[in-house]
Structure 1
Amino acid sequence: MGVLTDYFRAADAAAVVRALGEHGAFDGVELKGIDPVVCFGQLVALVRGARWDPGTAGSRVVWPADPSTAESWVFELGTAARDALAAVPDEDVPAVSVRWAATDELAGAEGLEEVVVDLVGLARRARDAGERLYCWCTV
């Protein structure tokens, strides 16, 4: 069983937590296996031309209050990560996708170009609206 992830945009963490209680919906991308720290962080590192480290995506857990016993979490991603993805030129997406597919965690994965297109588009919409990126994860 893999990790299910939904990347989405929202005004702030408080809006996300409120929506969780109301089963609210956000503009987002449903993915599987693209965790916010390693896989997403590697994508951000690639577009920045930098080395990946656990803080690359600037992620922090915003829900639940006690993440140690949870099976689902919501991560807020850093605005620098959002802006790095939003700045990827459309013509660079194929090359970025190929390099991302070469990472150990994604070796053999298919359809990554579509995933990059979706994440870049989401990052652009979030940036343009002055919103942040979030990732809901469940195991």
Structure 2
Amino acid sequence: MGVLTDYFRAPDAAAVVRALELTEGSLPAFGEVSDGAFDGVMAKHVDPCVVLGQPVAAIRAEPWRVDLVAQTPVWPTTPQPGPDGPWDEDEPWSTGPWVTELGDATRDALAEAGDDRIPAAVARWAEAEEWHGADPADLLPLAEGLIALARRARAAGERLYCWICL
């Protein structure tokens, strides 16, 4: 089973929740922001904690760690069960989709990535075991898309979000 992840920008969590309520949790298509769609990047298999955290660490020139990318749950809006449950198979926290708001430090690290540092960061990213020896040239467009998205979010005073679905 694959994990689908999309990154997008929005003014705040309330705007994200309103959009997801209209679509029953599906992420509205990316498009012109004025059309009500989110501006975003499809990034299959790029979870915020591990896979996105690695280029963020490379850009910051620091070691990757599990808590590098701060996240706050936004969706589902129902209370999250504790570690001991109850976990119902039909419960939204069990089935998804899920949306998290990324911390501004992640947005800013990506937005501030100097164009001259991107190739080295992508080369380090390609070495991650999650990419199974991917060619950095294949990851470069994805990295550039995420960086451009972060730059647009910061310029607009918006936050970055990750939509996750199984």
- Deviations 1:78-128 (Å, cap 9, x if unpaired)? 000100000111122221111100011123235210111000000000000
Q: Which of 133, 144, 147 is the aligned partner of 1:108?
A: 133
- Which residue of structure 1 aligns with residue 2 of structure 2? 2
- Secondary structure of the structure 2 residue equivalent to 1:109: coil
- Which residue of structure 2 aligns with residue 56 of structure 1? 68
CA RMSD across the alignment = 1.4
Structure 2 counterpart of 1:40, one-letter code: L
1:121 counterpart = 2:148: yes
Residue 9 of structure 1, CA deviation: 0.3
Unaligned runs of 5+ in 2: 29-36, 81-91
What is the TM-score normalised by the length of structure 2?
0.78
2: CA distance, partners of 1:105 / 1:137: 17
Residue 55 of structure 1, CA deviation: 1.6
Unaligned runs of 5+ in 1: none
Residue 53 of structure 1, CA deviation: 1.9
Residue 38 of structure 1, CA deviation: 0.8
**Aligned residue pair count:** 139
- Which residue of structure 1 aligns with residue 94 of structure 2? 69
CA contact (8 A) 2:59 2:118 kept: no
CA contact (8 A) 2:59 2:117 kept: no
1: CA distance, partners of 2:58 / 2:73: 23
Identity of aligned residues (%): 53
- Which residue of structure 1 aligns with residue 116 of structure 2? 91
2: CA distance, partners of 1:13 / 1:70: 20
Moved over 4 A (4+): none
- Deviations 1:26-74 (Å, cap 9, x if unpaired)? 0000111101111011121111112222221111211113364233100
- Which residue of structure 2 aligns with residue 20 of structure 1? 20
1: CA distance, partners of 2:67 / 2:95: 21
Structure 2 counterpart of 1:26, one-letter code: F
Structure 2 counterpart of 1:22, one-letter code: L
- Secondary structure of the structure 2 residue equivalent to 1:96: helix
